[in-house]
Amino acid sequence: MPETTTTPHGTPQPGSAVLPPLRIGPITVDTPVVLAPMAGVTNAAFRRLCRESGAGLYVAEMLTSRALVERSPESFRIIAFEPDEVPRSVQIYGVDPATVGAAVRLLVEEDRADHIDLNFGCPVPKVTRRGGGAVLPWKRDLFAGIVRAAVDAAQPHGVPVTVKMRKGIDEDHLTYVEAGLTAQDAGVAAVALHGRTAADYYSGTADWDAIATLKQAVTDIPVLGNGDIWSAEDALAMVAHTGCDGVVVGRGCQGRPWLFADLAAAFAGSDERIRPGLADVARVMRRHAELMVDHFGEESKALREMRKHMAWYLKGYVVGGELRAQLGLVSSLAELDDLLARLDLDQPYPGDAAEGPRGRAGSPKRPILPYGWLDSRELSDDFRRDLHEAELSVSGG
């Protein structure tokens, strides 16, 4: 293992010591790595690929508390875990303490989850315009109420609750330290911080210094870091830079489920890394598509959902514009087989070209907030009356 690693910030940092297992309440995660829930990505098919690659905690796609309480068929499809998928990890989003509490009770009383994560990190407008996701901790009483309701509902069944959040709304409205301490006091088992604000969206460089600040403030429970982990070396550098107890990986594993094998090796002190040639990547793509068909039970729907993954898998490899475009429109396993056979499968791993950011990072965006949201840190009666309406019945990003 080299003595130094390079962060995505461009600054060399000391290599990290081997981390102990991550403890989240009664759950022990041998490798301190968590797969972040990503809408349309972290379904059962992709989670299986990741689990086959390495150890960690793999969180399902986000559910809205209202949809869960109303027993939406899509919600129950999302939490239809495979028999060998343990622990079963669910993330829920909500803006009403009563509804979030009811959703958590449903999950634990019906034995549908072993771990529940609360989403306070989503920056997408359909969530923030209702006061949810990354902008909700600004209303500190609302945030505390939601967290307490979830912990109180889960505690009798021994199911740990965690919180994932961002730094705040923007650099002028930061909430993460106060929110982390509030969550700790409410009895959560861990907190995770994405080192960006809602206004940052996914642009720029994640603020690892903020993760270090939170780790220094929140001392009774594990603090996990999230943002700009594109390789195992990035994860080691984040731990060395921040002192965090583990890492949360999101976009960095898109099209690279084997990243979890790299992370498991790195945190065990090994310098072994998976560097697949295009033939190996094609085999993973084909298996992913098969698992998607099993998950959705409908080949055409599964392949439509698979399309977004194609560019991620092929990042850095020489493919050609026409073939890339055809793979982005694939509609059947037979068509996928034909297109994969046309790839130059003798290509070796392309190095750095295959790593780094996936998809479009975008640019900073002014968060869309409820009118008057920033006027007070407390929840007004008007906002309180709107809470039930704000419980969206669709998945967030």
Domain residue spans in the chain?
16-274, 278-354
* Mean pLDDT calculated for residue range 129-152: 96
pTM: 0.91
- 182: tokens are 């509030």
If you count them, how many residues does the chain have? 397
Q: Which has the minimum average pLDDT: 193-197, 217-221, 280-284, 380-384? A: 380-384
Taking all residues of the chain, what is their mean pLDDT, rounded to a whole number? 90
Cβ count near 369 (within 10 Å) = 18
Which one of 50, 122, 244, 253 is the catalytic residue?
A: 122
Can you read off the two tokens belonging to residue 298?
A: 């409908």
| C-alpha angle 201-250-307 in degrees, rounded to nearest 5 | 95
Encode pLDDT of 239-291 as tens digits: 999 999 999 999 999 999 999 999 999 999 999 999 999 999 999 999 999 99
Mean pLDDT of 97-124: 96
* The CATH classification of domain 16-274, taken from the options 3.60.150.10, 3.40.50.970, 3.40.50.300, 3.20.20.70: 3.20.20.70
Mean pLDDT score, 134-144: 96
Q: Evaluate if residue 3 carries a pLDDT over 70.
A: no
Q: Which helix (H) or strand (E) covers residue 103, if one does?
A: helix 97-109
| CA–CA gap between residue 237 and residue 369 (Å, rounded) | 35
10 Å Cβ neighbour count for 9?
Answer: 17
DSSP state for residue 83 in the 8-state scheme: T
- Does 6 have pLDDT greater than 70? no
The CB-side HSE value for 125 (13 A sphere, CA atoms) comes to 5
Q: CA-CA-CA-CA torsion for 232, 237, 238, 242, nearest 10 degrees?
A: 150
DSSP state of 77: H
Which band of pLDDT confidence, cut at 50, 70 and 90, is reported for residue 2?
very low
Task: Count Cβ neighbours within 10 Å for each residue of 270-298 and write b for 16 or more, e otherwise.
Answer: eeebbebebeebbebbeebbebbbebbee
pLDDT digits 0-9 by tens, 7-22? 555 443 444 456 889 9
Q: Which whole number is the average pLDDT over 62-85?
A: 91
**DSSP secondary structure, 285-330, as one string:** HHHHHHHHHHHHS-HHHHHHHHHHHHHHHHTTS---HHHHHHHTT-
Longest Cα–Cα distance of the chain, Å, equals: 64
pLDDT at 232 exceeding the cut of 80: yes
Concerning whether 122 is annotated as a catalytic residue, the answer is yes
Res 54: pLDDT: 84
